[in-house]
């Protein structure tokens, strides 16, 4: 059995994750804009393509974070209204579902981070050939 307030207490942390992800999306979008403002070289086109895929990852992670937040709120509200004493009640199942979405978002953000380092290495190697 879960206490009704448990999912609600997670919301501030989720808000910070959403804010961070949104800031990364805006920064990445500005980078892509600056690359695509004029006609690109082949290398810039390659980097732009990789960064667009990165933006897609951040968008998916953000959507999962928003979805988890909504599900946590719903879980808390239903937990307070229904007051059921079962391990597999609707509020608990929603809490588990929200947690699954949260972990999927974490996995996507980890993939994003590793790919970002790969893109930076590629840019470094291209711009600083010995």
Residues 71-128 have pLDDT tens digits of 999 988 888 888 776 667 888 899 999 999 999 999 999 999 999 999 999 999 998 8
pLDDT over 70 at 57, yes or no: yes
pLDDT score for 1: 53
Read off the pTM. 0.86
pLDDT digits (tens, 9 = 90+) for 32-42: 998 888 888 89
76-101: buried (b, 16+ CB within 10 Å) or exposed (e) per residue? bebbeeeeeeeeebebbbbbebbbeb
Q: What is the pLDDT of residue 116?
A: 95
SS3 content of the chain, % helix, strand, coil (to 5): 85, 0, 15
């Amino acid at each position: 059995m879960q206490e009704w307030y448990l999912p609600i207490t997670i919301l501030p942390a989720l808000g910070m994750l959403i804010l961070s992800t949104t800031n990364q999306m805006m920064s990445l979008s500005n980078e892509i804009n600056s690359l695509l403002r004029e006609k690109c070289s082949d290398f810039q086109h390659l980097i732009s393509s990789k960064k667009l895929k990165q933006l897609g990852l951040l968008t998916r992670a953000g959507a999962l974070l928003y979805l988890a937040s909504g599900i946590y709120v719903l879980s808390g509200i239903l937990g307070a209204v229904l007051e059921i004493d079962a391990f597999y009640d609707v509020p608990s199942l929603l809490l588990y579902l929200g947690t699954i979405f949260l972990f999927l978002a974490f996995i996507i953000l980890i993939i994003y981070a590793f790919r970002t380092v790969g893109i930076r290495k590629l840019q470094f190697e291209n711009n600083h050939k010995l």
